[in-house]
Structure 1
Amino acid sequence: MTLRGKQTVRDLRRGSRSTLLRRLYFDGPLSRQELGRITGLSAGSVSNVTGELLADGLVEECGSVESDGGRPRILLQVTPGRAHLVGVDVGETQVRVALFDLALTELAASDHPLSDKGHDVDHVVELILTGLAEVLARTGTDPQTVLGVGVGVPGIVEQGAAAEHGLGIVVHSQTVDWDAVPLGRLLRAGTDLPLFVDNGAKTLGQAEMWFGAGQGALHAVVALFGSGVGACVIADGARFRGATSSAGEWGHTKVHVGGRLCRCGSRGCLEAYVGAEALVERWGAAPAGSSEKAGLAALLAAAESGEDAAVELLDEAAEYLGAAIADLVNLFNPERIVIGGWAGLMLGPRLLPAVRDAATAYALRFPRAQTSIELGRLGPDAVTVGAATLPLSQFLDSGGEFPDRSGPAAPAAS
């Protein structure tokens, strides 16, 4: 009889593969000797497991370094072209689909503006599937090499019992009128690729923690500023999700009781004062027919030229944002707060000094002194990169196993 909780030989092998693969992915290239020292695995285990990874094509030799008196040490790295990943950003104004190799080098991207149908669910699903087909066709990528499709969405993502096949993924988003949308089942009807869905702010958070401004921190908050506002809270190196995965809806915390009406239907939300949509609307002087990004750029240009209304609006936004960041400092005691998203990166260079000052004024002195506030480093498309890390994370955890495509099919449409 197998004792409950006892690891099998297969479990130990998989764990060793995952440990070495992760080290090579995040810290490589590394020699076998360095891998042994870093991981604590024996020389024999490192030799056997790296031999398997080389035979599977997951790892490749990439040069050598001199050793003290012996033969040069061969360096190993994860093979970038061995597999592919897809990241999708369901944004406020467009759906972006990008294909990456294992090194998260973007190979192709497809941008589809949302039409006058807005976030109509069928319309969004159609754009995702169209973009997926386009990036695969454009690069000639074999779908069998794709580890999965990660999707970042606005709102709360509920992972159901069949989430491993995508069928149980349900999205709740008041701001775009999605009420228990079975996004996994709808996408599964158009692709057999593995599906991973999460809140867009959480995918941004994972990207910045892995590759950007959050690297090295165990306690952090990564904030997304676009049309709306969200956040990813990192506690002890892991994304904090809460009881039903809704943790991080920071944009709907209150900064003014009975204040401005928010897209969520409530009043006084942070998003209603510092989100790009709210700022452009409140300014009211954007060129007719301009996009939200163009409107925000015009607001910024007006402030830079000294227009009083624009300067006053952005100064107020900086104070609201700094006060809200002070709440994060007092509640979560993070080492680092990272501001990302296209609007955050556009406004950040102007607003960041005032935001830091306001955070200092409103936060408790001791935790504020331990917290740095900085801009994200991955650019405006970081949600797409973060979405691609969802299947990548499972791949690394599994020790490099390719997904099983034999899961249940979606029920036929009636």
Structure 2
Amino acid sequence: MAERGKRTVRDLRRGNRAALLRHLYFEGPLSRQELGRDTGLSAGSISNVVGELIADGMVEEAGAVESDGGRPRILLQVAAGHGYVVGVDVGETRVRVELFDLALTERSSADLPLSDSGHDVDHVVRLALEGIETVVREAGIDDSEVLGVGIGVPGIVEQGDNAPGAGDGIVVHGQTIGWDAVPLGRLLRAGTRLPLFIDNGAKTLGQAEMWFGAGRGSGNVVIALIGSGVGACVVTNGKPYHGASSSAGEWGHTTLRVGGRTCRCGSRGCLEAYVGAEALIGRWPSAPEGVSEETGLALLLAAGDTDPEAGALLAEAAEYLGAGIADLINLFNPHRIVIGGWAGLLLGPRLLPGVREVAAAYSLHHPCAQTSIELGRLGPDAVTVGAATLPLARFLDTGGERAVRIPPQEGHVGLDGVRNRIARAIR
């Protein structure tokens, strides 16, 4: 038996596979020589590990390049078709589900409106399961090819002690949507045997922007999600900061005005009550009735130059957002602050100049001079992409190991029987 804390040959092999797989994924295509140069592994180790990864179908050849005086160098890349990942965004008005290959190219998708049931737990779970089943079927693949399902949700996500991907012990505290210690992992497990990974939606957005978007290349970033509500993902030294109980990043519920407007969380003066889409539209006297929040916010922006009340509301939002960003600068000293989320991307082009000006006025000069404030680059569906990176991250970090897959035994009932199981689990 290996001594505790001592690395075994198996650990070493797994670490080498993970190092090569991650580097190829983010920097490839690369040759064996470039992999050795970049990772510091010996030529023998590179040859052995690459041979294993090719034999396992995780890595494939991607052409060749000329070398100086020798044979052409064969380029390698992660095989996009080796497996698939699913991303689920439990949003404010819908549940969006997308299935991607390993290159995060979308293969199928489903949009399921929350309708009048809102964020009723039973309703959300059934929509998520329906969406997962739909995208797998429409992509024409077997669910054994799916490495896992990542789910981004509003609220605080308390991770369980089960094996990664099992999902059973994951609990969600979503104060603004009425979720109090909802055993979401267990409820979803009643209807699927696929590996489950669940995290806060702002954190999944943050991971997507760090991997592929405006956060790439920097280790200290804050990615803000602005939609109906407001959240943030704080990244320090390249890793998302979760805090003692995974509630770090609830930036929208920091107090900007003592005794101010009532927030959806029940407190007063929260940033969300001044810059969230729901709050902005709710305070616009000319807001049309019966339209979606996206339409309402677009109309508010369009009226900003002709309607004095709309213009004043947008100017105030820029001031509060700038002050909130100044707090982030003073607290975390990031290299970048990235504004994302569907409302953030919609508001950004108009508000960003004012936001930068206010942030500079309210923050300490030295850290502010080192911080850029910019818009996200991945569009309004970045939460779904980020959710899909949850199972993908585990796949890369383990050198291609498959996550826990619950066998179809008692307890796996599929969609047809999930309603009763959900009802029992809630009780």
The interval holding the TM-score normalised by the smaller chain is over 0.9
- 2:15 & 2:406 partners in 1: Cα distance? 24
409 and 244 in structure 1: CA distance in 2 versus 1, 3 angstrom threshold? farther
2:69 matched residue in structure 1: 69
- Do the aligned partners of 2:148 and 2:197 also contact (CA within 8 Å) in 1? yes
Pair 1:253-2:251 in alignment = no
Q: Which residue of 1 aligns with 2:120?
A: 120
The change in CA–CA distance for 1:92 and 1:27 in structure 2 (over 3 A counts) is same
Distance 1:56 1:318, change over 3 A: same
Alpha-carbon separation, structure 2, partners of 1:217 and 1:409: 47
Q: Secondary structure of 2:210's partner? A: helix
Identity of aligned pairs, percent? 71
SS at match of 1:116: helix
1:178 aligns with 2:179: yes
Q: Aligned letter for 2:20?
A: L
For 1:384 and 1:288, the matched residues in 2 are separated by: 29
Q: Which residue of 2 aligns with 1:371?
A: 371
| Match in the other structure for 2:79 | 79
How much has 1:346 moved relative to structure 2? 0.4
Measure how far apart 1:403 and its partner are: 2.5
Number of corresponding residues: 413
Q: Distance in 2 between matches of 1:189 and 1:72?
A: 53
Distance 1:163 1:265 in 2: 35
- Structure 1 residue 279 corresponds to structure 2 residue 252: no
1:41-86 CA deviation, whole Å, 9 max, x = no partner? 0001001100010111100001001111000000000000110000
Residue in 1 aligned with 2:386? 386
Query: Aligned-pair distance for 1:406?
Result: 4.3
Residue 49 (structure 1) aligned with residue 49 (structure 2): yes
- Report the equivalent of 2:142: 142
SS of corresponding position for 1:283: coil
Corresponding position of 1:400: 400
1:69, 1:5 → 2: CA distance?
A: 46
Report the residue type matching 2:115 in the other structure.
S
- Encode CA deviations 1:140-181: one digit per residue, 9 max, x unaligned: 111001011000000000011226311100000110000000
In structure 2, what is the equivalent of residue 292 of structure 1? Answer: 293
Provide the secondary structure at the position in 2 that maps to 1:210: helix
Q: How far apart, in 2, do the equivalents of 1:362 and 1:220 lie? A: 19
CA contact (8 A) 2:21 2:396 kept: yes
CA deviation profile, 1:371-409 (whole Å, cap 9, x unmatched): 000000000000000000000000001101123324797
Q: Which whole-Å CA distance do the structure 2 matches of 1:180 and 1:85 have between them?
A: 27
Please give the alpha-carbon distance, in whole angstroms, between the structure 1 residues aligned to 2:410 and 2:301: 49
Are the aligned partners of 1:167 and 1:410 in contact in 2 as well (CA < 8 Å)? no
Q: Which moved more, 1:159-168 or 1:2-11?
A: 159-168
- How far apart are the structure 1 equivalents of 2:47 and 2:352? 49
Provide the rounded CA distance (Å) in 2 between the counterparts of 1:372 and 1:243. Answer: 28
Distance change >3 Å, CA 411–CA 139, structure 1 → 2: closer
Equivalent residue of 2:249, what SS?
coil
Residue 207 of structure 2 corresponds to 206
- What are structure 2's unaligned runs of at least 5 residues? 414-420
Match of 2:324 in 1: 324
Q: Secondary structure at the match of 1:186?
A: helix
TM score, norm. by length of structure 1: 0.98
Give the letter for the 1:48 counterpart: N
Kindly tell me: are residues 226 and 18 of structure 1, through their superposed partners in 2, closer, same or farther at Cα, counting changes over 3 Å?
A: same
| Equivalent runs, 1:216-231 vs 2, <5 Å | 216-231=217-232
Q: Would the aligned equivalents of 2:195 and 2:406 in 1 still touch at CA under 8 Å? A: no
C-alpha distance in 2 between matches for 1:363 and 1:163: 43
The separation in 2 between residues aligned to 1:406 and 1:204, in whole angstroms, is: 27
Aligned partner of 1:364: which letter? L
Q: For 1:137 and 1:405, how far apart are their aligned partners in 2? A: 18
User: Contact 1:188 / 1:409 at 8 angstroms: preserved in 2?
Assistant: no
Task: Report deviation, 1:366.
Answer: 0.3
Give the 3-state SS of the residue equivalent to 1:377 in structure 2: coil
Judged with a 3 Å threshold, the aligned counterparts in structure 2 of structure 1 residues 156 and 190 are, in CA distance, closer, same or farther, namely same
- Conserved 8 A contact 1:330-1:364: yes
Matched with 1:342 is 342
Give a deviation string over 1:91-116, Cα, whole Å, max 9, x none: 01110000000000111110011111
2:403 counterpart SS class: coil
Where 2:89 maps in the other structure, the secondary structure is strand
Name 2:108's counterpart in structure 1.
108
Q: State the alpha-carbon separation in 2 of the partners of residues 284 and 307 from structure 1.
A: 10
Corresponding residue number in structure 1 for 2:416: none
Contact kept, 8 Å, 1:16 with 1:49, in 2: the verdict is yes
Distance 1:273 1:254, change over 3 A: same
Q: Which amino acid aligns with 1:244?
A: S
Q: Which runs of 5+ in 1 are unaligned?
A: none
**Deviation string, structure 1 residues 213-253 (Cα, Å, up to 9, x no partner):** 00011111000000000000001110000000000000000
Q: Aligned equivalents of 1:383 and 1:98: distance in 2?
A: 11
Give how far 1:5 is off.
Answer: 0.8
Distance across 1 between alignment mates of 2:143 and 2:412 = 22
Look up the match of 1:242: 243
Q: Which runs of 4+ in 1 moved over 3 A?
A: 406-414
| Conservation of the 8 A alpha-carbon contact between 1:287 and 1:295 | yes
Q: Aligned with 1:13: secondary structure? A: helix
Letter in 1 for 2:370: Q
Q: Aligned partners of 2:188, 2:31: CA distance in 1, in Å?
A: 42
Alpha-carbon offset, residue 4 of structure 1 = 1.4
Contact 2:152 2:387 in 1 (8 A): yes
Instruction: Indicate if the aligned counterparts of 1:219 and 1:334 stay in contact, CA closer than 8 A.
Output: yes
Match of 2:26 in 1: 26
User: Paired residue for 2:417?
Assistant: none
